[in-house]
Amino acid sequence: MEKEVLYNSNMHFEHHLWKSELEFWKDELKSFNNRLSELVTRWTNKDVLAQLEHYQNEFVLHGSVIEELEETIEQHEERIAGQSITDQNAIDLQLAKKHIEFRNRIETQRQIYSELKKGFFRFLEKYM
């Protein structure tokens, strides 16, 4: 089995992609919250309002996850920058391991977010 080699430039590139994706998610969450605001004014049914509150809570939670992911990316970037300043060409195995673990977290979060969006869109179809 061949081991994956992660160079700082590749990790930096992937970080850049992830940061863009997280920014997109934050923009989507703003739009979703605007939709919730519209629905709150249209409905008085307690079941519908409970579902609205559920999605509002989910969006807040997801927003917190985004902030946490952004913070982790920044920490990784600082470590990469520190290596560049000291002109270290050696591969930081611990950073590479954390990067792969973080990649898995991002992939998991993509799936969670995708399911949340699907459910929310079904909800909108029903109540918009």
**Structural domain includes residue 37:** no
**Structural domain includes residue 42:** no
**Structural domain includes residue 70:** yes
pLDDT digits (tens, 9 = 90+) for 13-30: 999 999 999 999 999 999
What's the pLDDT score for residue 53? Answer: 96
**Structural domain includes residue 103:** yes
**Structural domain includes residue 13:** yes
Q: Which domain holds residue 14?
A: 8-28+48-127
**Structural domain includes residue 20:** yes
Over 60: is that where the pLDDT of 102 sits? Answer: yes
Phi, then psi, of 6 in degrees rounded to 5:
-110, 115
The model's pTM: 0.86
Per the structure, the count of domains in the chain is 1
**Structural domain includes residue 36:** no
Long-range contacts, 71-77 (Cβ 8 Å, 24+):
72/102, 73/15, 73/18, 73/19, 73/22, 73/102, 76/11, 76/15, 76/102, 77/12, 77/15
**Structural domain includes residue 96:** yes
Residue 85 burial (10 A CB sphere; 0-12, 13-18, 19+): exposed
